[in-house]
Structure 1
């Protein structure tokens, strides 16, 4: 469920002052409409630079996501915007990230962004998983797998993002080809089988207009996909169909329904192909 967004101007004065200790007096504030996890999300500029700020109240049920992003950020060089500072004061936890240029990835068929996203996921697979506290993929999916025996397919030692929403991928067309995409919002960083992010990408590709076969073709651009057992892929598709069904039963908004439709299409494709 989405978190209610508020403007940066509604921060307590002490929290705003603490931010400006890092930035200097703010000249512009551009509130962001993307994302679901943050109460504060804004791109700010001062005479000393530009940052993307995201934050939650320290008593928010998802306050743990700020801690997760802080813990994983040092290990994401070349994959994500750098975390420049963190402020915890006046009941708020605020993160100041390097402000990236670019556009949200276009996942539609024939989009020029697709090869860049595939390259990004390959680089992620090559990134060592840090020795920090992370959820395990098999734990996150244990209530959605068709059979308990399926959970071993999802286990592994690899660092995963798991939220391949196209709004979480920024593509800078001015950067060198093959190094244009970055992943933002690492709140759901997870440890698991290397091929799972390619699987999560499939659902978003189908939601963007791909057939399941076309989406799997793009997943196959990531070498780890070829390590996935066919039964494991089908089990993963089943678990995600069950997960999105639960989400839409609780909150049937159009965004969630689109993902539920996509995950069901992939599930059907896996069971009938």
Structure 2
């Protein structure tokens, strides 16, 4: 089911009224176009302050990510912005967040943001995985390994974010903060730096340079090479599937990065 962007003013009156009961009267609403996982993505300026909203229609196949994000939120503060409210009203599922005044992280070579993201990964690695019904890394990647048993290499008890698109990493107050936790997962601790490495390659680093940057994260530094090889193969297959025959710019970029990393690992 494709996501069609919806402006705040186009929401049903009852939904807008329910939001304003939480925020105060909305004075101005700005669409936020960076997100890919929400139909509603807006910054609203209200009599009670400024709030970030994200939402999906209640029948959308991804609506479970809204509940996942609300449930995980208390366990990932202060790395994530605080959820202020969660509403389900007239066919809409809406989350309201404290607004982070920041910018998207820059992953390009030489960027001063890279050490900040390394620190965020280290902090995440120190957070215990809560006892919630999270997706399992080995299940998420099982379709993309050559043999079903290979997916066991991704199993673990660490809390993972898994979506290191630089639009999900905001630089604010001199540090990196993570948004969009709907795909939080339980798995091996080295997987999050591995997911990030694909984005580093897509942003201009060579595979060797990206792997070296990952060495700043202890979990990556101790990752079993054979398990990493399986992950790299799986993600090359995953991004080839996502990109398909008619990729847009960003899926083509990620498909190319995953394939380059695979060639590097396979020598």
TM, length-normalised to structure 1: 0.95
* Structure 2 equivalent of residue 34 of structure 1: 34
User: Pairwise mapping of residues 64-143 of structure 1 onto structure 2 (< 5 A)?
Assistant: 64-143=64-143
Q: Tell me: CA distance 1:259–1:2, structure 2 relative to 1, closer, same or farther (3 Å).
A: farther
Q: Whole-Å Cα distance in 2 between the matches of residues 88 and 120 of structure 1?
A: 31
Q: Tell me: CA distance 1:208–1:161, structure 2 relative to 1, closer, same or farther (3 Å).
A: same
Superposition RMSD in Å: 1.1
Q: Whole-Å Cα distance in 2 between the matches of residues 130 and 91 of structure 1?
A: 29
1:206 pairs with 2:205: no
Tell me if structure 1 keeps the 8 A contact 2:82–2:97. Answer: yes
Q: Whole-Å Cα distance in 1 between the matches of residues 145 and 60 of structure 2?
A: 29
**CA deviation digits over 1:128-187, x for unaligned, max 9?**
101011110000000101232321210000100000000000001xx2x4xx11000011
* Structure 1 equivalent of residue 252 of structure 2: 257
Choose 99-108 or 247-256, whichever is displaced more. 247-256
Gaps of 5+ in 2: none
| Displacement after TM superposition at 1:250 (Å) | 5.8
Tell me if structure 2 keeps the 8 A contact 1:105–1:167. Answer: yes
Q: In structure 1, the residue corresponding to 2:142 is in which secondary structure?
A: coil
Gaps of 5+ in 1: none
| Displacement after TM superposition at 1:190 (Å) | 0.4
1:189 pairs with 2:184: yes
Tell me if structure 2 keeps the 8 A contact 1:2–1:37. Answer: no
Tell me if structure 1 keeps the 8 A contact 2:25–2:48. Answer: no
Q: In structure 1, the residue corresponding to 2:210 is in which secondary structure?
A: helix
Q: In structure 1, the residue corresponding to 2:4 is in which secondary structure?
A: coil
Q: Whole-Å Cα distance in 1 between the matches of residues 130 and 206 of structure 2?
A: 35
Q: Tell me: CA distance 1:35–1:251, structure 2 relative to 1, closer, same or farther (3 Å).
A: farther
* Structure 1 equivalent of residue 165 of structure 2: 165
| Displacement after TM superposition at 1:67 (Å) | 1.0
Q: In structure 1, the residue corresponding to 2:87 is in which secondary structure?
A: strand
Tell me if structure 1 keeps the 8 A contact 2:214–2:221. Answer: no
Return the match for 1:232 from 224, 227, 230. 227
Q: Whole-Å Cα distance in 2 between the matches of residues 250 and 22 of structure 1?
A: 44
Give the number of equivalent residue pairs. Answer: 267
TM, length-normalised to structure 2: 0.97
Q: Whole-Å Cα distance in 2 between the matches of residues 90 and 231 of structure 1?
A: 49
